Structure 1
Amino acid sequence: MKKYDHFGELLLDYRSFMQISQADFAAQLQVDPRTIQRWERNETLIKPNKEPDIAEVTLFPYQVIRNLNSPDPIPTYYDLHLRKYALNEIGVEMPDADWFRDQLDKKTERLVKINFEKDFDYLLRFMEMHRTLTNTMKTVIEEGIKIAPEINNILNDDSGYYAAHSIVLPITQEAYLKLRTKQMKDVDLQTSDLANYKSQELPIFFAFDITADCNENFYHIINPVIHFLQSLPNQEYTYCSIPYRHDNYELSEKAGLKIIWEDEKKNVEKKGNFSRRFIEGNFTEFLLSGD
């Protein structure tokens, strides 16, 4: 993560990251290009009624905007690729997995079920930061959420703005084996690859996309997933994923999930600087180790 002292510096990095001009950025926000120039030079602050537009266009966490768009800005660490922030150096790194385990009894009222009409297009923008989704795949995600709504959620921040989401799909044994042996990519899943986990002897859940804008919210979005899995009969299940975020992978590894395959370094995406891996396992042993 990079430390930002002023909002203008973040806007400059954002345009460079997205490879867009001041004119194009101004058009997206429906402002004059000279306004973008003044913001980037820290000559003027963004008006409060324009902050929601900034969040909508850039996908910046609203907390980051509030911290930096101020007469007395609060220095904030931010990662443009992950869309993740921290208020200090301690919060930059993902906490040890034991911290997540020890906090599992904590609840939040900021967690809501995914509303397709209201939320789905916005969620797709986050997911498509890392891969292109076909219309078929979008249907798969929608149907998978309907099958297991308990583990597919959105987390809002204290002001009601988006902060995190979880997309976890119940899949068939056949689809799992194809993903595990690299015969199929995650974006090639079909609706026929979804399963009614309640009728499976060993339910299989594929974490297609779990993301959060800070470590605390990462905990709050993964918490209901773990609680759900541990409520299954005999706590028997397989949880698997191909993480697109290194922090997601690091937490899974610390919780006992194993790497089945990993892309060669030459295939690492430039923006993410993270090789894709297929990981799988069960959280039961990890959770019991804290007793």
Structure 2
Amino acid sequence: MKKYSSIGALLIDFREFSKISQADLASKFDVDIRTIIRWEKNETLLKPDKEEEMVDITFIPYQVIRNLNAPVSIPTYYDFNVRRYSLSNISKELPDPNWIIDIHTETNRLRTIKYNSDLEEILRYSKLQQHVIKPISKEVILKATELLPEINQIIFDTSGYYSGHLVFLPISKRFYNKIRKRTITENDITVNDLIDYRKYKNPVFYSYNMSGDCNENFFYLAACLIHFLKKFKRDYTYASYTSRNDSYHINALLGVFIVWEDKVLQKEIHSLAPPRLYESNHAIFQNFLNKHLI
């Protein structure tokens, strides 16, 4: 993460990240290019209505914009690649796993994925992920939510802006083995490949996305997953394909193992780390609980 102390620095880096010019950004905001120049030089702040537009245009979390677009800004760390922020260098790191287990998920900011606007935010996030060549369809996400609502969730900040989500696809072990053997990819998953996990002896809970824009929101979502798995008392397989470092960390906390990693794709997409397929099961998760549950 990079530390930002002004809205101007954030806008400059957004343009560099998105490979757009000041003129392009001015067009998106429907303002004169001189306004963009003044914003980037911190000669003037964005008006409240432009803050809302900036959330939509840049996909930067509202809290980051609010912190920096103030007469006395609040320095904030932010990473464009994973859409994640922190208020301090210390809080960038994941805390002890006991914190995840003990957290309560009762918050009115977290709910089941439902609306088209939810799907738009999820797919927009998916396109940020370097290993995602083509996002899965809205229909697949909606069907997965119908079959597995407990861990297909979306979270918002206190101002009502999108802050993260969980998308898990219930699939059969037979179908998952095709992904495991790399004869197909997750991009090939269709509505017809999803299952009613309650009718299968060893269902696979395939993590398509797990994202929170800050530690607090990330752990509300992580706790949602962990509480679901705690209640699931029979065999299952947990799988996750990711190239995000924070996803590496949560998988490490859960004690899962790496099935394979794609270093060829890493070079093609210029990723800092190789996309990895992780796997776990009921026994491994129980060992995690026995080790960390107080």
TM-score calculated relative to the size of structure 1: 0.93
2:111 corresponds to which letter in structure 1?
A: V
- Residue matched to 1:110: 109
Looking at structure 2, the residues matched to 268 and 95 of structure 1 have their Cα atoms a distance apart, in angstroms, of 31
Looking at structure 2, the residues matched to 132 and 68 of structure 1 have their Cα atoms a distance apart, in angstroms, of 33
- Residue matched to 1:79: 79
Give the 3-state SS of the residue equivalent to 1:31 in structure 2: coil
Aligned-residue offset at 1:185: 1.2
Aligned-residue offset at 1:115: 2.1
Using the TM superposition, name which of 276-285 and 195-204 deviates more. Answer: 276-285
- Residue matched to 1:281: 280
1:150 corresponds to which letter in structure 2?
A: E
Looking at structure 2, the residues matched to 93 and 270 of structure 1 have their Cα atoms a distance apart, in angstroms, of 25
Once the two structures are superposed, the pairs formed by residues 11-160 of structure 1 within 5 Å of their partners are 11-101=11-101, 103-105=102-104, 107-130=106-129, 131-133=132-134, 137-160=137-160
2:277 corresponds to which letter in structure 1?
A: F
Note if contact 1:262-1:277 (Cα within 8 Å) is conserved in structure 2: yes
Give the 3-state SS of the residue equivalent to 1:226 in structure 2: helix
CA 1:69–1:272 in 2, change beyond 3 Å: closer, same or farther? farther
Note if contact 1:82-1:245 (Cα within 8 Å) is conserved in structure 2: yes
CA offset digits 1:125-179 (Å, max 9, x no partner): 1111122436x63332222122111211111111111111111110111221011
1:41 corresponds to which letter in structure 2?
A: K
Looking at structure 2, the residues matched to 96 and 28 of structure 1 have their Cα atoms a distance apart, in angstroms, of 42
Note if contact 2:152-2:165 (Cα within 8 Å) is conserved in structure 1: yes
Give the 3-state SS of the residue equivalent to 2:165 in structure 1: strand
Looking at structure 2, the residues matched to 12 and 40 of structure 1 have their Cα atoms a distance apart, in angstroms, of 6
2:236 corresponds to which letter in structure 1?
A: Y
Give the 3-state SS of the residue equivalent to 1:71 in structure 2: coil
Give the 3-state SS of the residue equivalent to 2:238 in structure 1: strand
Looking at structure 2, the residues matched to 138 and 179 of structure 1 have their Cα atoms a distance apart, in angstroms, of 20
Note if contact 2:82-2:128 (Cα within 8 Å) is conserved in structure 1: no
Note if contact 2:112-2:145 (Cα within 8 Å) is conserved in structure 1: no
Looking at structure 2, the residues matched to 266 and 144 of structure 1 have their Cα atoms a distance apart, in angstroms, of 27
- Residue matched to 1:192: 192
Note if contact 1:268-1:276 (Cα within 8 Å) is conserved in structure 2: no
Using the TM superposition, name which of 169-178 and 12-21 deviates more. Answer: 169-178
CA 1:218–1:20 in 2, change beyond 3 Å: closer, same or farther? same
CA offset digits 1:221-246 (Å, max 9, x no partner): 121122122222x2432111102311
Note if contact 2:104-2:220 (Cα within 8 Å) is conserved in structure 1: no
Using the TM superposition, name which of 144-153 and 10-19 deviates more. Answer: 144-153
- Residue matched to 2:220: 220
After TM superposition, where is structure 1 displaced by more than 6 Å over at least 4 residues in a row? Answer: none
1:287 corresponds to which letter in structure 2?
A: L
Looking at structure 2, the residues matched to 96 and 263 of structure 1 have their Cα atoms a distance apart, in angstroms, of 29
2:240 corresponds to which letter in structure 1?
A: S
Note if contact 2:110-2:156 (Cα within 8 Å) is conserved in structure 1: yes
Give the 3-state SS of the residue equivalent to 2:158 in structure 1: coil
CA 1:42–1:272 in 2, change beyond 3 Å: closer, same or farther? farther
Note if contact 2:167-2:209 (Cα within 8 Å) is conserved in structure 1: yes
Looking at structure 2, the residues matched to 156 and 218 of structure 1 have their Cα atoms a distance apart, in angstroms, of 11
TM-score calculated relative to the size of structure 2: 0.92
